[in-house]
Amino acid sequence: MGVFVLIIERIAGTLLGIVAFLTFGEALFRYAFGVQIPDAYSFAGMLQAVAIFWGIASATYEGRHIAVDMLWQLSDATSRWLIDLFAEIMSFLFFTALSFMLMLKIKSSYLSQETTNDLLLPHWPYVALAFLGIASAAILSLLRVARAATRPR
């Protein structure tokens, strides 16, 4: 499992690095040479969305989401377990629904032939990459549900 999570983290980090490099390169070329990288804005936006979804998958497995735990801190062990289990189930349901909606978006993007402005490259592969990231989050959240359900109270 550690290798799977490591791959997810590497994908998210690499994509974020590409976004930073693309943004820096676009600004450099625009201000220094007066030219633009074709579709740099579109690529940066789409890759940023993909990187965020893959980063969500990484944060899901490690439990690094933002949490407000005042009620949890005041609860006894059984209540804490129930709160944790409920939160894990809700995360799984949310990521599963989001995965399903992104699957529908892949289909609609493919059928509508959405493309970038300059190079006319299709959008659907980027939506598919985002889907893979959030589907990974759904799978990892299901593992967290199983881990929470079997954890001793």
Q: What confidence tens digit (pLDDT) does each residue in 86-115 have?
A: 999 999 999 999 999 999 999 999 999 999
Contacts for 107 with CB less than 8 Å, ≥ 6 apart: none
Q: Report the pLDDT averaged over residues 7-15.
A: 90
pLDDT at residue 89, as a whole number: 95
How many other CB atoms are found less than 10 A from the CB of residue 141? 24
**Overall number of domains in the chain:** 1
Residue 55 sits in which domain range? 2-150
pLDDT-based confidence at residue 153 (cuts at 50, 70, 90): low
pLDDT band at 145 (very low <50, low <70, confident <90, very high): very high
CA pair distance 126, 148, nearest whole angstrom: 33
Q: How many CB atoms lie within 10 A of CB 118?
A: 14
Give the C-alpha separation, 140 to 142, whole Å: 5
CB 109 within 8 A of CB 29: no
Q: Is the pLDDT of residue 42 over 80?
A: yes
- Is residue 124 pLDDT above 70, yes or no? yes
Amino acid at 80: R
34 has a pLDDT exceeding 80: yes
Contact 47, 133 (CB under 8 A): no
